[in-house]
Amino acid sequence: MTDLLEQTVKSISESIRFDSSLTHATSATPFGKGAADCLAHFLALARSFGFETHNYDNYCGEVIFGDGPEFAILAHLDVVPAGNGWTKDPFGGEVADGKIWGRGAIDDKGPVMCVLYALKALKDEGFSPKRKIKFIVGCNEENGWACIEHYNEVATMPEEGFSPDGNFPVIYAEKGILHVRLHFPMDEKSPFFFLEGGSGANMVCDECSATPRTLTLTRARELGLEICNKKIIAHGKSAHGSTPELGQNAILPILEFFAGKSERVRYIIDCLFHDFHHITELEDETGRLTLSPNMIKYRKGEVQVICDIRYPATVPYAEVIERINRIGVKYETIRHQAPLMQDKNGALVQTLLNAYEQVTGRHEAPLAIGGGTYARALKNGVAFGPEMEGDEPVMHQADEYITIDRVKLLLDVYKAAIEALTK
């Protein structure tokens, strides 16, 4: 490996060792100590390269390079919870088998470090950007974007830029994101005393458990449920909330266990898993609406379910809400982000496409995705890498990794793109 690649791999590994998932907030650490420590590590590294840096109250940080009209690169250091099913230490940053393993390796600590080292390479070569590059790293991308809200209060967000937090060759459109909590009332004699599952609104539930009023062992075994101290447990496979088809939702087998004993449980299944109200039929060029019930709990006579909804970019928000209203239960909106749609033939998209093709030799068309990136924070923003067609889907899943070959590619692509956009 070259010195630059070795240093980048080392820094990615170091960054992964910080558990920067959302934890208890203090006045000094709004998203928890892990996120603040991870940000401090990143900014110290950037300063050691000779860059100007800013820490905005541990909400987010910034690296400055160049002068002139502003250009943003937006990425994040926070991660979703580790979840279950790992064979590697999720916060070990192990380098083995040509990969760097750990939560955040591909989303988004690996790309963060690749951009930083690409900037360092340009700086070391004597490149002088004719735009002021603001490399902004947030610490709350996975849980509401309070980091971006704070940045807009204390600094000035550029109008144009990209986020290294999506797919290649470039993402011109992103679906709208809607997280809602639905309240399904239960009868006085609910078939369970306890029900709970899921670790994140944007992660397919990989474990769900319940304590039945009556335990039917045969039925539990038919559904592949674990039985432990009168509790039934379902194990699934996590996936990103925007691609629920890549996971296996552990909530469904638990609800199916109770469906024969409760019409209200059957209604939950019909609404959220069988799409009784045709919510997922909404569709456009950016794809179909996806609905993923990712968190569930039984409290005070009702089953509360948090659903991750990704709706097509050209579908009006009001139409999505009308479909949700068909379910006929109380709900509240936890999070909403409007869709993103940029011009496929615009200068930003075409420049990034050209840089990607220059490095990889691959000529590909711009993409639309269900995921949401910081590109939405910009008037003219798109997502640009790090994932490519054919990659194993590991984002938000156990044993997340980034290959060393991909790190090398990212260094080259981001270096070429930044130079082309700011020369």
Q: Which residues are catalytic?
A: 78, 141
Report the C-alpha gap between 218 and 227 in whole angstroms: 11
* Span between the terminal Cα atoms of the chain, in Å: 28
Strands (E), 229-301: 231-235, 283-284, 287-288, 290-299
Angle at 311 between CA 310 and CA 313, to 5 degrees: 120
CA–CA distance, 39 with 45 (Å, rounded to integer): 10
| Pairing state between β 171-174 and 340-341 | antiparallel
Sole residue written with tokens 């995705």: 369
Beta strands in 186-289 (DSSP E): 192-197, 207-212, 226-228, 231-235, 283-284, 287-288
Backbone CA torsion sign across 275, 279, 282, 287: negative
How far apart CA 302 and CA 305 sit, in angstroms, is: 10
Whose CA is closest to 372, among 176, 78, 223?
Answer: 176
Reduced to 3 states (helix: H, G, I; strand: E, B; else coil), residue 129 is coil
Would you call 181 exposed, middle or buried from its count of C-beta atoms within 10 A (0-12, 13-18, 19+)? middle
Q: How far is CA 187 from CA 123, 191, 216, in A?
A: 66, 9, 20
Q: Enter the DSSP assignment of 279.
A: G
Nearest to 142 by CA among 88, 78, 204, 203: 78
